[in-house]
Amino acid sequence: MRVPRSEGDTIPKFYVTTPIFYVNGAPHMGSAYAALVADVLARWHRLKAEDVFFLTGTDEHGTKITKAAADAGLEPKAFTDQMVLKYAEMWKALRISNDAFIRTTDPDHEKAVQEMVRMMQANGDIYLGEYEGWYCLYEETFYTDLQLNEGKCPDCGRPVQRLKEKSYFFRLSKYQDRILEYYSKDPDFLLPKSRASEIVNRVKGGLKDLSISRETVAWGIPFPGDEKHTIYVWFDALLNYVSALGWPGGERFKTYWPADVHVVGKDINWFHSVIWPAILVSLDLDLPKHVLVHGMWLADGEKMSKSKGNYVRPEDVTSKYSVDAFRYYLIREKPICEDGDYSDEKMVARINGELVADLGNLLNRVVSLAEKFGGKVEGEPELDDFLYIESIDKFMGEVDPHSALEEVWKFIRAANKYVNDKKVWQLKDAEMANALYNLLESCRIIAILVSPFMPDTAESICAQLGVKLGTLEDCEFGPFEGKAKKGNFLFKKVDVK
Ligand code: MSP
């Protein structure tokens, strides 16, 4: 696998984002999933020696936050200052390797949002009107009669209220054709592709202008030129992807925009696949290359959510097992676009099967044999026949880390099979040197391949092999240059009595 190195070689950039999280509650397993998918992608592209920028952050304005702050007996800003720490600390604990963390209360972000509104006022995309519709306080979204589900909010099922107020509007309707044209020109924009048809049909059904200001919401960014209004929280939030890069003027913006991948849950697909592109076209900016829409983690068949409180706390899982087991499970358990229930039994089965019996056992056997052998480890590559880096990289390029991880496991299993088929423990001299050469090199390469998914495990493997973690370029069989030294088991078997 070639990665750019030499001078004059252009280094591709890779800009990946998570949604910015509402701070009305602590992060849960669903929030962690979005951050983890983006993290795995960022780490993979760093392995390819690309210039990666990974952004995450928090969405701090609007009614939802005002309500949560009032419940906590705090002013919104004091509340968000407290809550944001829960996200920053959780991401650190889960080894999320973001390069920046944006808060929508950052003064630079607020200035950028006001600048966006001014630009749209100047280009005629914003006008003052009156809005009447069904409003869900919780989702901060207006719905039409048709969208309601038995008279209730179609997203969260809560009662909605009829609201009429003066509001500034964004001419979303104007962009209907441009958006459809974009979808037909770039069929990979929305991934997985199956999600695109529902969006396209909805856009074909007609786009209404979007109400983008509120007179009734005090906790928000003041609307330029009419400070009775605050800017609608979604209009403020979406801009984070460019304001964090210093848009309009920033160097980072020039380097990293357009985003390569926005990772988003299917519940916020519309905002990213229709409203965000329209905003970008209005501002004359390039559109992101991909929006990756993932499925939901469920608890007893229902979406885990902060408001329902029916969620799994990541810290409960990581303290019982490990951070890497949690990371592994989230990516491996379900295809990215599907929904899935969290199950402790399945988690344990994966730990005992894939992590302990496949990976942990392989390293343990190989390092034990190598320590005993003592001779020079050398030979001809044989196990490289089972290593499909191109195919792993292809899956990662298609933002499908779930399938990439399965492919990595095929190689781990091939290495275990090699130990068994050759009865390596019985080999002697040159035959043993050759088998160990193959196995140690395989383990070294496995460390690199699992590092985006399980960074701590990758480091432990390298420590036991006496090698440094390489890049994707080093995933080729070369001479083994480490010195094996047995350490702790990578994973503990869970007793399932
Ligand atoms: N603040 C908005 C996003 C603005 S982005 C410009 C928001 N925040 S959120 O905290 O409610 O959700 C953040 C992300 O977490 C969303 O992508 C959402 O889909 C994801 N998840 C929330 N619950 C989830 C599950 N139960 N399972 C998987 N992901 C989930 O929406």
Are 370 and 419 in contact by the 8 Å Cβ rule? The answer is no
Per the domain annotation, does 329 fall within a domain?
no
pLDDT at 2: 47
What is the position in ligand 1's atom list of the atom closest to the CA of 59?
1
Q: Is the CB of 305 under 6 A from ligand 1?
A: yes
Instruction: Give the tens place of pLDDT for each residue, 316-347.
Output: 999 999 999 999 999 999 999 999 999 999 99
Please report the pLDDT score of residue 9 as a whole number. Answer: 64
Q: Residue 189: which of 109, 272, 248, 111 has the closest Cα? A: 272
β-pairing verdict for 141-143 and 210-211: unpaired
Is residue 60 located within the same domain as residue 191?
yes
Q: What spacing in Å lies between the alpha carbon of 372 and ligand 1's midpoint?
A: 51
| Listed range (124-133, 301-310, 386-395) with the worst mean pLDDT | 301-310
Kindly report the protein residue whose alpha carbon is nearest to atom 24 of ligand 1: 30
CA distance linking residue 87 with residue 428, whole number of Å: 54
- What average pLDDT does the segment 2-14 reach? 69
Q: Does residue 316 sit in the same domain as residue 347? A: no
Distance from Cα 192 to the centre of ligand 1, integer Å: 18
235 lines ligand 1 (CB under 6 A): no
* Cβ of residue 20 lying under 6 Å from some atom of ligand 1: yes
Tally the domains of the chain. Answer: 2
Is the beta carbon of 259 within 6 A of some atom in ligand 1?
no
The CATH number given to whatever domain includes residue 267 is 3.40.50.620
- Same-domain status, 392 and 307: no
Please determine, for residue 6, whether its predicted confidence score (pLDDT) is greater than 90: no
Q: Is 58 in the pocket of ligand 1 (CB under 6 A)?
A: no
- Domain of 426? 343-474
| Residue 163 pLDDT exceeds 90 | no
- CATH code at 439? 1.10.730.10
- With a 6 Å cutoff on the Cβ, whether 238 touches ligand 1 is yes
Of 486, 383, 469, residue with least CA distance to 434 = 383
At 303 the pLDDT is 83
Domain assignment present for 327: no
Q: Would you mind telling me the total number of residues written for the chain in this entry?
A: 497
The string of pLDDT tens digits covering residues 105-161 is 999 999 999 999 999 999 999 999 998 889 888 877 778 888 899 999 988 899 999
Both 88 and 162 in a single domain?
Answer: yes
| Position with higher pLDDT, 381 vs 301 | 381
Give the closest residue (by CA) to ligand 1 atom 12.
21
Q: Distance (Å, rounded) from C-alpha 393 to C-alpha 344?
A: 30
258 preceded by a cis bond (ω within 30 of 0): yes
Residue with tokens 């905002």: 271
Q: Are residues 309 and 392 in the same domain?
A: no
* Average confidence (pLDDT) over 265-294: 97
User: Is any atom of ligand 1 closer than 6 Å to the C-beta of 296?
Assistant: yes
Contacts 24+ apart (CB under 8 A), 407-414: 408/446, 408/449, 408/450, 408/453, 409/354, 409/358, 410/386, 411/383, 411/386, 411/387, 411/442, 411/445, 411/446, 411/449, 412/358, 412/359, 412/362, 412/446, 413/358, 414/383, 414/386
406 is a domain residue? yes
Residue 287 scores a pLDDT above 60: yes
**Comparing C-alpha atoms, which of 381, 397, 494, 493 is closest to residue 436?**
381
Chain segment 346-365, per-residue pLDDT in tens: 999 999 999 999 999 999 99
In angstroms, how far apart are the furthest CA atoms of the chain? Answer: 85
330/335 Cα distance (integer angstroms):
10
Mutate to test the pocket of ligand 1, among 267, 269, 305, 329 (most ligand atoms within 8 A of CB): 267
User: Does residue 332 belong to any structural domain of this protein?
Assistant: no
Indicate if ligand 1 lies below 6 Å from the C-beta of 21: yes
pLDDT of res. 495: 92
State pLDDT tens for residues 223-269: 999 999 999 999 999 999 999 999 999 999 999 999 999 999 999 99
Q: Residue of the nearest CA to atom 30 in ligand 1?
A: 30
Does ligand 1 have an atom closer than 6 angstroms to the CB of 17? no
On the CB side of 22, how many CA atoms lie within 13 Å of its CA? 21
Asked if residue 33 has its Cβ within 6 Å of ligand 1, the reply is yes
Is 367 found in the same domain as 305? no
Instruction: State if pTM tops 0.85.
Output: yes
